[in-house]
């Protein structure tokens, strides 16, 4: 089990919000080891441009594992240009069946501005309901806040920022130092 191998790494809240023809992915910057904040300015949301097409990815979990998955995702996107869902399904299949990849501990939120997906090592490629996805230790707090805020007239970025602020107030493994990327569909 992961807890047996690693000394209590915790942290991260990532949220994706789709509204008004755009998707915003926001992530906090905190990395914790047990009760200690190791870094407060980590960048867990990235913009990829495989084949000249923008894709935004937010990750929770082990950073090295996430970067391995991002590299694999870029290759899948190069092999299936413009087909985000197909590339994510292929990544999830590899992640689930490859002995090396099975050990990777991370989750991804992926979007091309039209499609919003959560990809897990259990083989899941999920398109969230209500145009909001959230992962990480504070993910459920951010998700609940964003779902409530979706009933307002706030923009996707405003919903994401407010939901992340609420998660940071509740989850000790989440801070308010955000990286925010916006992509249009």
Task: State the Cα–Cα distance between residues 39 and 141, nearest whole angstrom.
Answer: 21
Task: State the Cα–Cα distance between residues 134 and 60, nearest whole angstrom.
Answer: 10
Task: State the Cα–Cα distance between residues 41 and 175, nearest whole angstrom.
Answer: 9
- List all residues 6 or more positions away from 176 whose beta carbon is below 8 Å from its beta carbon: 28, 164, 165, 168
**Helix, strand, coil share (%) of the chain residues, nearest 5:** 40, 30, 30
Secondary structure E strands in 29-136: 31-33, 36-39, 45-48, 55-61, 106-111, 116-120, 125-126, 132-136
- Which residues are known binding-site members? 168, 171, 174
- Which residues are known binding-site members for Na(+)? 168, 171, 174
Establish whether 12 is a catalytic residue.
yes
Task: State the Cα–Cα distance between residues 159 and 151, nearest whole angstrom.
Answer: 10
Backbone dihedral angles phi then psi of residue 126, each to the nearest 5 degrees: -115, 130
Residues designated catalytic: 12
């Amino acid at each position: 089990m992961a807890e047996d191998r690693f000394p209590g790494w915790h942290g991260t809240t990532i949220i994706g919000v789709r509204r008004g023809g755009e998707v915003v992915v926001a992530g906090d910057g905190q990395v914790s080891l047990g009760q200690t904040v190791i870094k407060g300015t980590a960048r867990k949301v990235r913009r990829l441009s495989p084949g000249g097409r923008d894709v935004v990815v937010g990750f929770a979990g082990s950073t090295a594992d996430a970067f391995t998955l991002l590299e694999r995702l870029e290759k899948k996107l190069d092999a299936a240009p413009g087909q985000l869902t197909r590339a994510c399904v292929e990544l999830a299949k590899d992640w689930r069946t490859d002995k090396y990849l099975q050990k990777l501990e991370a989750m991804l939120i992926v979007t091309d501005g039209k499609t919003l997906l959560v990809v897990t090592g259990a083989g899941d490629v999920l398109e969230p309901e209500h145009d909001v996805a959230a992962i990480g230790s504070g993910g459920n707090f951010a998700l609940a806040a964003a779902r409530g805020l979706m009933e307002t007239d706030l923009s996707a970025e405003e919903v994401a920022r407010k939901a992340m602020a609420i998660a940071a107030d509740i989850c000790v493994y989440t801070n308010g130092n955000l990286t925010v990327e916006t992509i249009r569909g």
